[in-house]
């Protein structure tokens, strides 16, 4: 494409019958930017005779004949850099323009950091480059990023090109910066204040490149700085991890097959959610927001039903107030929401999601009742976090249309959804769910059925070991959270538990028979502490919702979301802490907690619960706040920890705690270490051998 563009441009320069030039991407996208897979061979390409994008944009800008970009669809990354090198820009009203490079761990490398601030000013350029978020045509016009918005893009571009023939050519790269160096310094410094302490290498590189607009004499010297920063980010570990995430996301969401025809794909189809609690109301809202469904919300408790519906309306109202949706959209969505306590109203529903309490008997009863009401074609799903979906499928009439659909809390915010495939779930059902999950703006990862599926199963050692860090060892709650925040997790483990509700884990442990009732000692894992059970059952410390959990909360401080020190918890910790316990270092905490989490990830792969290590990475990045710049837990293990170190540490933890199952090293991990390859390489090899889909 670069060669072609350059050749055409040269031909146009020398052909006397060409008086001006319009650059178009045809009817679809102007250009969605670079092919990221080319980045891995960037150095080779750089040494070859293939022109770089810098050569292309320099030639366009230098053209003696006016060049106009006719922008349709996506105009992103390298695509926008090409458009910026044109002398004028005409955009279709539906086009999107942006420089998303930082999201894949690099910075714009073909003049984007130099031309955009010259054209739209530094604050707007900072916003676009540092968030990586695109702007629509209307905003682009307002920013003067484009000269005109027109739905007759090509015709208008031709007119502009012809007008350009009689006016002096305007070259963006030659425009003087809009700000003085001191002004720019203040803006750039302010922008860095919001950066997270770690994982911001790309952002800092972008800042340095933009700074060069003000500190170097001209475009070419600024572009030298940009090129240096680009190469640094390209080769950096964080940049590579972010690109891994980019490809992992696509691979995780690759459809099993195109969705088969189903009534669910039609407009105004009724669907239902059973249980109007935290999860049910969130899922109902997400279904509503597609604008496609009539959503029935069901609950056995009238109060819960009312509360759930009110919550949905409240969230939509806030979205309207923030200008995210229009008032008429809000009204039409609310009109699509129906509450009921009668299953008779669900007789036309093509999809029913169960989000009642985590209890197998109740869930089976619900599905049994539903099966006799809904149409034969309906898809039945459970949002269970841990329970065996095959046991539920056993009571429905068409188990091939039954699956788990595991959302994360809050369902309307969290992007991840695990699509849990049971023994009898059909490929068609999986494909429909993948499609629907995507249309809802969520990231669906297909996983197998086991206790906790992929994400919560791996969380088991994480939760258990973090609590043991304060009872077996002498670390306080805030100190443990701090170690994980420093590692880059979005929340510390105790903050996360307080947010999700400590009763969630408690109920799961109860269901597993681990919680003590009366004097009998339950059958539970070795190294079990009753601290977490006690704080919920005896002290009502359910988390933020009761204003007390691992921390105290005060509605007057940080809207009741800021964790405050709790003397009561301190006393409880003392009660359960082992005598003579000593403190551990932050590095030891990470090892003791995250190594068995990764080990469990390996076991998920062994058992076919996860299809690939990169799928696990996506689950942890989008469901559990694992830092994206570390690439996800499996990528982190492969590249930062290295598998031989992981194995030897697990072996020593296993020697220390021989009866703790999650320290028993996975066979797959041992195999990878023996073969001296990463698990990513192992899977690539396996996939190649199977040349198809991994078994599930
Ligand atoms: P919740 O207690 O907030 O809501 C459950 C609702 O179900 C209540 O309103 C209750 O009245 C209703 N209910 C109980 N029995 C019912 C029945 N027979 N028919 C209809 N409604 C009934 O619970 P939640 O946190 O929303 O969890 C719901 C499900 O989602 C559970 O299976 C849970 O494991 C799962 N889940 C929870 C989370 C989380 O973080 N809270 C995350 C993912 C999945």
Could you tell me the distance, in angstroms and rounded to a whole number, from the CA of residue 399 to the centre of ligand 1? Answer: 22
205 lines ligand 1 (CB under 6 A): no
306 lines ligand 1 (CB under 6 A): no
* pLDDT number for residue 507: 87
Judge whether 614 and 443 are in contact, CB under 8 Å: no
* pLDDT number for residue 508: 85
Probe residue for ligand 1, chosen from 276, 277, 404, 420 as the CB with the greatest number of ligand atoms within 8 Å: 277
Judge whether 605 and 696 are in contact, CB under 8 Å: no
* pLDDT tens, residue by residue, 161-195: 999 999 999 999 999 999 999 999 999 999 999 89
Q: Does domain 266-449 have CATH number 3.60.21.10?
A: no
Non-local (6+) Cβ contacts of 54 within 8 A are: 109, 110, 111, 223, 227
Could you tell me the distance, in angstroms and rounded to a whole number, from the CA of residue 436 to the centre of ligand 1? Answer: 22
**Distance in angstroms (rounded) separating the CA atoms of residues 173 and 117:** 10
Residue 422's pLDDT band (boundaries 50, 70, 90)? very high
User: Residue 245's Cα: distance from chain center in Å?
Assistant: 9
Enumerate the β-bridge partners of residue 443. 416
**Distance in angstroms (rounded) separating the CA atoms of residues 460 and 456:** 6
Residue 580, H or E segment: none
* pLDDT number for residue 688: 62
On the question of a common fold for 474-576 and 586-692, the answer reads yes
* pLDDT tens, residue by residue, 472-510: 999 999 999 999 999 999 999 999 999 989 998 898 888
* Nearest alpha-carbon partner for 458 in 623, 327, 221: 623
Give the burial class of 651: count Cβ atoms within 10 A of its Cβ; 0-12 exposed, 13-18 middle, 19 or more buried: middle
Could you tell me the distance, in angstroms and rounded to a whole number, from the CA of residue 322 to the centre of ligand 1? Answer: 29
Given a cut of 70, whether residue 693 has pLDDT beyond it is: no
Which region holds residue 606: left if phi is over 0, alpha if psi is between -120 and 50, else beta?
Answer: alpha
Distances (CA, A) of 7 to 27, 60, 270: 22, 11, 56
* pLDDT number for residue 198: 87
* pLDDT number for residue 694: 44
* pLDDT number for residue 300: 97
Q: Which of 7, 38, 101, 237 is catalytic?
A: 101
277 lines ligand 1 (CB under 6 A): yes
300 lines ligand 1 (CB under 6 A): yes
**Distance in angstroms (rounded) separating the CA atoms of residues 316 and 682:** 46
Angle (CA) 161-167-171 rounded to 5° is 75
Fold of 474-576: 1.10.1040
Mean pLDDT, to the nearest integer, of 223-231? 97
Question: Worst-scoring range by mean pLDDT, 6-10, 40-44, 347-351, 428-432?
Answer: 40-44
pLDDT-above-90 percentage for the chain? 89
Given a cut of 70, whether residue 41 has pLDDT beyond it is: no
Residue 82, H or E segment: helix 78-85
Cis peptide before 68 (omega within 30 of 0): no
Phi, psi at residue 111, to the nearest 5°?
90, -5
* pLDDT number for residue 44: 61
280 lines ligand 1 (CB under 6 A): yes
304 lines ligand 1 (CB under 6 A): yes
3-state secondary structure of 588: helix
* pLDDT tens, residue by residue, 288-311: 999 999 999 999 999 999 999 999
498 lines ligand 1 (CB under 6 A): no
**Distance in angstroms (rounded) separating the CA atoms of residues 525 and 338:** 44
Could you tell me the distance, in angstroms and rounded to a whole number, from the CA of residue 531 to the centre of ligand 1? Answer: 24
Probe residue for ligand 1, chosen from 272, 273, 278 as the CB with the greatest number of ligand atoms within 8 Å: 278
Q: In what order do the strands lie in the sheet with 293-298?
A: 337-340, 293-298, 269-274, 351-354, 379-382, 402-407, 416-421, 443-448
Mean pLDDT (the chain) is 94
Q: Which of 81, 179, 465, 680 is catalytic?
A: 81
Probe residue for ligand 1, chosen from 272, 276, 279, 281 as the CB with the greatest number of ligand atoms within 8 Å: 279
Domain segments of the chain as ranges: 1-235, 266-449, 474-576, 586-692
357 lines ligand 1 (CB under 6 A): yes
383 lines ligand 1 (CB under 6 A): yes
* pLDDT number for residue 45: 60
* pLDDT number for residue 689: 65
* pLDDT number for residue 42: 64
pLDDT-above-70 percentage for the chain? 97
* pLDDT tens, residue by residue, 384-401: 998 999 999 999 999 999
301 lines ligand 1 (CB under 6 A): yes
* pLDDT number for residue 519: 80
Give the burial class of 48: count Cβ atoms within 10 A of its Cβ; 0-12 exposed, 13-18 middle, 19 or more buried: exposed
**Distance in angstroms (rounded) separating the CA atoms of residues 92 and 345:** 45
Question: Could you confirm whether 208 is annotated as catalytic?
Answer: no
Residue 696's pLDDT band (boundaries 50, 70, 90)? very low
* pLDDT number for residue 695: 45
Question: Could you confirm whether 81 is annotated as catalytic?
Answer: yes
341 lines ligand 1 (CB under 6 A): no
* pLDDT number for residue 196: 84
Atom of ligand 1 nearest to the CA of 386: 34
Probe residue for ligand 1, chosen from 302, 356, 543 as the CB with the greatest number of ligand atoms within 8 Å: 356
**Distance in angstroms (rounded) separating the CA atoms of residues 417 and 438:** 10
Given a cut of 50, whether residue 692 has pLDDT beyond it is: no
Could you tell me the distance, in angstroms and rounded to a whole number, from the CA of residue 196 to the centre of ligand 1? Answer: 35
Probe residue for ligand 1, chosen from 272, 274, 275 as the CB with the greatest number of ligand atoms within 8 Å: 275
* pLDDT number for residue 690: 62
Judge whether 118 and 173 are in contact, CB under 8 Å: yes
* pLDDT tens, residue by residue, 547-576: 999 999 999 999 999 999 999 999 999 999
Q: Is the dihedral of CA 176, 177, 179, 183 positive or negative?
A: negative
**Distance in angstroms (rounded) separating the CA atoms of residues 209 and 64:** 28
* pLDDT number for residue 122: 98
pTM of the model: 0.91
* Nearest alpha-carbon partner for 381 in 337, 366, 409, 411: 366
- Closest residue to atom 13 of ligand 1, CA basis: 356
- Closest residue to atom 38 of ligand 1, CA basis: 409
In the chain the first and final C-alpha atoms are separated, in Å, by 40
Residue 318's pLDDT band (boundaries 50, 70, 90)? very high
410 lines ligand 1 (CB under 6 A): no
Judge whether 611 and 696 are in contact, CB under 8 Å: yes
Atom of ligand 1 nearest to the CA of 366: 18
* pLDDT tens, residue by residue, 251-288: 999 998 899 888 999 999 999 999 999 999 999 999 99
1-235 CATH choice from 3.90.226.10, 3.40.50.300, 3.40.50.720, 3.40.47.10: 3.90.226.10
Fold of 586-692: 1.10.1040
**Distance in angstroms (rounded) separating the CA atoms of residues 1 and 7:** 10
417 lines ligand 1 (CB under 6 A): no
Token pair belonging to 254: 């690759």
Judge whether 694 and 685 are in contact, CB under 8 Å: no
Judge whether 581 and 481 are in contact, CB under 8 Å: no
Judge whether 77 and 33 are in contact, CB under 8 Å: yes
Distances (CA, A) of 407 to 249, 309, 311, 315: 17, 19, 18, 18
């Amino acid at each position: 494409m670069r060669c072609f563009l350059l050749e055409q441009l040269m031909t146009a320069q020398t052909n006397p019958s060409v008086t001006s030039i319009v650059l178009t991407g045809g009817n679809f996208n102007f250009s969605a930017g670079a092919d990221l897979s080319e980045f891995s061979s960037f150095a080779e390409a750089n040494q070859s005779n293939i022109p770089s994008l810098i050569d292309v944009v320099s030639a366009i800008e230098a053209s003696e004949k006016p060049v106009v970009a006719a922008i349709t669809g996506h105009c992103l990354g390298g695509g926008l850099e090409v458009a910026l090198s044109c002398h004028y820009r005409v955009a279709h009203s539906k086009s999107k323009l942006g420089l998303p490079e930082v999201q894949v761990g690099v910075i714009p490398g073909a003049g984007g950091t130099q031309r955009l601030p010259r054209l739209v000013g530094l604050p707007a350029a900072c916003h676009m480059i540092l968030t990586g978020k695109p702007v629509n045509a209307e905003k682009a016009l307002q920013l003067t990023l484009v000269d005109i918005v027109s739905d007759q893009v090509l015709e208008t571009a031709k007119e502009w090109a012809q007008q350009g023939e009689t006016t002096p050519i305007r070259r963006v790269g030659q425009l003087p910066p809009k700000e003085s160096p001191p002004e720019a310094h203040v803006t750039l410094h302010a922008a860095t204040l919001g950066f997270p302490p770690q994982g911001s290498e790309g952002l800092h590189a972008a800042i340095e490149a933009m700074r060069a607009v003000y500190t170097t004499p001209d475009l070419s010297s600024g572009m030298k700085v940009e090129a240096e920063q680009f190469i640094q980010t390209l080769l950096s570990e964080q940049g590579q991890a972010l690109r891994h995430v980019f490809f992992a996301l696509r691979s995780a969401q690759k459809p099993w097959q195109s969705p088969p025809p189903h009534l669910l794909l039609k407009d105004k189809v009724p669907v239902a959610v059973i249980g109007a609690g935290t999860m049910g109301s969130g899922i109902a809202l997400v279904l509503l927001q597609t604008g496609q469904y009539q959503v029935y919300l069901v609950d056995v408790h009238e109060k819960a039903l009312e509360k759930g519906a009110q919550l949905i309306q409240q969230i939509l109202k806030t979205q309207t107030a923030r200008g995210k949706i229009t008032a008429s959209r809000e009204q039409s969505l609310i009109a699509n929401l129906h509450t009921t306590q009668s299953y008779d109203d669900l007789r036309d529903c093509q999809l029913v999601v169960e989000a009642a309490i985590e209890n197998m008997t109740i869930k089976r009863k619900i599905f049994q009742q539903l099966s006799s009401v809904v149409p034969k074609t309906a898809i039945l799903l459970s949002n269970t976090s841990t329970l065996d979906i095959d046991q539920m499928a056993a009571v429905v009439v068409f188990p091939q249309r039954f699956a788990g659909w595991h959302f994360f809390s809050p369902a309307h915010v969290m992007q991840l959804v695990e699509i849990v495939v049971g023994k009898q779930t059909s490929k068609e059902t999986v494909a429909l769910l993948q499609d629907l999950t995507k249309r809802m703006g969520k990231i669906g990862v297909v996983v197998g059925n086991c206790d906790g599926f992929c994400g919560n199963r791996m969380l088991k050692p994480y939760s258990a070991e973090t609590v043991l860090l304060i009872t077996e060892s002498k670390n306080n709650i805030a100190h443990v959270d701090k170690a994980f925040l420093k590692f880059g997790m979005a929340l510390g483990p105790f903050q996360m538990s307080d947010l999700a509700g400590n009763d969630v884990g408690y109920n799961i442990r109860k269901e597993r028979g681990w919680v003590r009732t009366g004097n009998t000692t339950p059958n539970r894992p070795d190294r079990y502490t009753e601290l977490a059970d006690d704080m919920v059952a005896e002290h009502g410390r359910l988390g933020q919702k009761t204003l007390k959990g691992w921390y105290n909360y005060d509605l007057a401080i940080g809207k009741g979301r800021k964790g405050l020190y709790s003397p009561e918890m301190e006393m409880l910790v003392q009660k359960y802490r082992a005598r003579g316990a000593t403190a551990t270092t932050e590095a030891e905490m990470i090892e003791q907690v995250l190594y068995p989490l990764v080990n469990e990830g390996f076991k998920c792969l062994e058992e076919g619960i996860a299809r690939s290590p990169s799928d696990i990475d996506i689950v942890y990045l989008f469901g559990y706040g694992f830092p994206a710049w570390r690439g996800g837990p499996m990528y982190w293990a492969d590249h930062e920890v290295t598998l031989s170190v992981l194995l030897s540490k697990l072996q020593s933890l296993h020697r220390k705690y021989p009866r703790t199952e999650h320290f028993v090293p996975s066979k797959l991990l041992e195999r990878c270490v023996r073969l001296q390859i990463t698990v990513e390489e192992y899977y690539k090899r396996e996939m190649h051998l199977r040349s198809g889909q991994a078994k599930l």
